[in-house]
Amino acid sequence: MNRFLDDFLIYIASEKGLAKATIEAYRRDLTAFFNHLGVGVTHPAQINKEMIISHLLQRQNAGYASASQSRALMAIKAFFRFLRRERLIENNLTLYLDTPKIWQKIPEVLTVSEMQRLLAQPDLQTNRGVRDRALLEMLYATGIRVSELCGLNLYDVDEKAIKVMGKGRKERLIPVGFHALKALDLYLLSQEKSTRSASQEALFLTTKGVRIHRKLVWKIVKFYGRKARIEKRISPHTLRHSFATHLLERGADVRVIQELLGHASIATTERYTHVSPLHLQQMFHAFHPRYDPNA
């Protein structure tokens, strides 16, 4: 099966122009799928729908996150589209195979008060604390992905917005609020007094003076989450979910949130935004033409 996988990876790299990280994720997911099939399956035509479902259920039982499950199915579906295009199979088994609803869990979202507690944790008397406050403020103020945060350069920030290079090398401008810009100014001021190299263009640096990486950002968010005594499972993506949800709860249009998050599909945005029952009730009372509060 490896020769079919190699051909598929070459195809998505050369003709589809997918990012290296996406190609590597597809390689891992499809390799896991082939391992599940076993050595008895040597050609894609031997695969049936039950084999695919069995693999996905095995991953679910192993405790894989919903996002990993969805990505695994996406990789398999992309692979089968390629096989059909190359006439290596007669029918695309995955054409009507959708991710089960039970995998599409609503992500954790912090309340506004929890978010404020989190942002208050870094010690502004230290350079590390100043950096961490700016980092947390930027994640929550913009809703950017952790990879986008790590990729920010000094020249990507101005007085009102940041320029972000998102998935598929798509560039977007995101407004930044006062608190985040103030925290960022304080961080850059502290950097001027440190050992930042004049040639270092990365915005956020480690204590060793190199570009910050996603694993460190994850550890930073986890550390301050524990310090703030937040009992929910928290990660950099939690701040992205909270950003979207808090905007929606204050009346922002979901299409605007889609643009800010850099989603190609509105369906993805809707999955990110968790609307409370109270907010739904308030929106109904405010906007439905047949609602009579005095009835």
CB of 240 within 8 A of CB of 261?
Answer: yes
Q: Is 263 a catalytic residue?
A: yes
Same-domain status, 52 and 130: no
Same-domain status, 87 and 124: no
More confident residue, 138 or 95: 138
pTM attached to this predicted model? 0.63
Give the pLDDT band of residue 102 (cuts 50, 70, 90): very low
Looking at the structure of the chain, the number of domains it has is 2
Most confident range (mean pLDDT) of 8-17, 109-118, 265-274 is 109-118
CATH assignment at residue 136: 1.10.443.10
The per-residue pLDDT for range 47-84, each reduced to its tens digit, is 988 898 889 888 888 877 777 888 888 899 999 999 99
> CA-to-CA distance for 46 and 216, rounded, in angstroms?
44
Same-domain status, 278 and 251: yes
Residue 126's pLDDT is what? Answer: 93
> CA-to-CA distance for 19 and 28, rounded, in angstroms?
15
Catalytic residue selected from 55, 71, 131, 145: 145
Q: Is 240 a catalytic residue?
A: yes
Is residue 153 over pLDDT 50? yes
Domain stop point among 103, 131, 158: 103
* Nearest Cα to Cα of residue 238 among 146, 167, 172: 146
Q: Is 241 a catalytic residue?
A: no
Q: Is 43 a catalytic residue?
A: no
Same-domain status, 183 and 262: yes
Catalytic residue selected from 222, 237, 274, 279: 237
Catalytic residue selected from 55, 133, 240, 246: 240
Q: Which domain holds residue 76?
A: 2-103
Catalytic residue selected from 59, 246, 263, 271: 263
Q: Is 85 a catalytic residue?
A: no
Residue 111, token pair as written in the block: 């309340």
What residue ranges in 126-279 does DSSP mark as E strands? 161-165, 171-175
Full DSSP string of 274-287: PPPHHHHHHHHHHH
Which own/partner contact pairs does 127-131 have at CB distance under 8 Å and 24+ positions apart? 127/190, 127/194, 127/207, 128/207, 130/183, 130/186, 130/187, 130/190, 131/187, 131/190, 131/204, 131/205
Is residue 104 over pLDDT 90? no
